[in-house]
Amino acid sequence: MTTCAPAVPAQLDVAGDLLALLRDTTTEPRPDIQLEALTLAVAADLPVLLWGEPGIGKTAALTQLATALDLPLTTVIASVHEPSDFSGLPVVGDDPAEQGVPMAPPDWAVRLVRAGRGLLFLDELSTAPPAVQAALLRLVLERRIGALRLPPGVRIVAAANPRSSAADGWELSPPLANRFVHLQWTHDQDVVVRGLGGTWPRAALPSLDPGGLDGAVRYARRAVCAFLTARPGLVHRLPSGETRRGGAWPSPRSWEMTLCLIAFATAAGSSREVLSLLVRGTVGDGPGLELMASLDRMDLPDPETLLADPAGAVLPERGDLRQAVLDGVVAAVRKRPEKSRWDSAWALLARAMETGAPDVVVVPATTLATLRQQDWDIPASIERLAGAMSLSRRADRAADRAAARLAGTARTSG
C-alpha cells in the first residue's frame, strides 16, 4: 500500500500569493490638490489631460480614480491606433446608394455604450501622429465614435509625456489641446512614501451644495464676464509658439470650460489652490493668474460698507488683499471727501494696524493725510498710527542702507 505525499504548491502559485499581498493596499482621506482638481474636472464632465514625466504615476492615479468612483476603466493607447479606429470603419450594406455607408465603431466604444458609464483613458496622447489627433477631435468634443455617441455617464481623461521625454513624441495640435483641461502631474514625496507603505490618497467626487447651485452659477458668470469685459484681448489668444499651442490657451471654448469649473469649485467649496490649478490648466498661466486676481478683488468688502462701520470691519488676512481694501477706502474718501468719512477711514486704518502687519497702512495713510481740509480736526486715531508709520519708514531706510552697503562690497570685491 502506497501513501500519497501532500501536494507541494506550485512555485507560480506561491509567487501569485506574494504578488496579491504586494497589491493589497488601502486608501485614506488625505488632502491632495492634484487629485482634488482632477476629480472636480471629472465631475464637471470636462476632458482632462494629465502632463507628466514617464513613471510619475499618471496611469496609477487613473486606475485608482476609476476604482474609487466605481467606474469601469477602458484604456486606449492612442499612438497604436489608426485614425479609422476613432472615426469609424466604413461598412458597406446591401444598398449603399439608398442607405449610405455607416461607420462602424471599435469594440471598446460599443462596450462603453452598453455599460452606460465608465472612464475612458486615452494614454500616450503626445505620441499619437497628427492624423490620429485629428480623428480624436470629434471623440473628445462631441463624444462620437463612428455612428455611436458615448453616454453622459462616460468621462474622458488622457495622459501625455512632454515631447522631450516621449517616445517619438509630437506636439499636440492646437484644436485638440484647446479641448482639454491641462493638469501638470507631479509626485509628492510624502504621498509616494506612504503609498509604497500600503496607503494611497482616496479619490472622491466633490460634495456639491444643492442649495448653492444657483449662486455658484451666478458667481461664475459674473466672474468670467466681468474679467473679459475688462480684458477683451484675452477672449481669444492663440499662442505664437508651437509648444505653447499644444497646452492651455484662451478661447471662447476654454473660457466656457473655465466658467463651468468656477461654478463647480464654488458649489464644492474648493480651495483657491485647486481652482488656480484648474483655471490655469484651461486658459493658460498668464490669463489664469489674472482671472484669479480678479476673483480675489470680487470678494473684497465694499469700501462704503467699511466706512459705515469701521469698528466692526472684517479685513482680509492676506497682505496684498488688505492693501487693496485700504487703497479702495482711501479712493472712496477722495471721490466724496467729507469729515465724517475721513475720520472713519482713519479709524479703519488704525484697526488694520492693530490686526495685521503695520507696513500695509503706510501708503494709504500717507495718501489719506493729503485729503485733509483746513477746518478738519485731526482725529485721535492718527496718534495710534504715527508710531507704526515712523517705525516702518525707519525700517525701510535701514533696508536701503544695508542694500547700498552690500552693493558697495560687491563692487569692491569684484
DSSP string for residues in 244-277: HHTS----HHHHHHHHHHHHHHHHHT--HHHHHH
* pLDDT for res 271: 92
Q: Which residues of 354-380 are buried (b: 16+ CB within 10 A; e: fewer)?
A: eebebbbbbebbebbeeebeeeeeebe
* pLDDT for res 250: 96
- For 38-51, write each residue's pLDDT tens digit: 999 999 999 999 99
Whether 159 has a pLDDT exceeding 60, the answer reads yes
- For 296-339, write each residue's pLDDT tens digit: 888 788 889 899 988 888 888 888 888 888 888 999 999 999 99
Cα–Cα distance between 233 and 399 in angstroms, integer?
40
* pLDDT for res 161: 85
- Give the β-pairing of 73-77 and 117-123: parallel
- For 364-392, write each residue's pLDDT tens digit: 888 888 888 888 887 777 766 765 555 44
- For 89-120, write each residue's pLDDT tens digit: 767 666 666 666 667 788 888 899 999 999 99
Contacts of 255 (CB under 8 A, 6+ apart): 224, 228, 235, 283
pTM over 0.85: no
- Asked if 159 and 123 touch (Cβ cutoff 8 Å), the reply is yes
- Asked if 54 and 160 touch (Cβ cutoff 8 Å), the reply is no
Classify domain 30-84+109-201 at the CATH topology level: Rossmann fold (3.40.50)
Average pLDDT for 167-194: 86
Going by pLDDT thresholds of 50, 70 and 90, the confidence category of residue 406 is low
3-state secondary structure of 69: coil
pLDDT-wise least confident of 170-184, 223-237, 399-413: 399-413
* pLDDT for res 96: 62
* pLDDT for res 203: 79
* pLDDT for res 380: 73
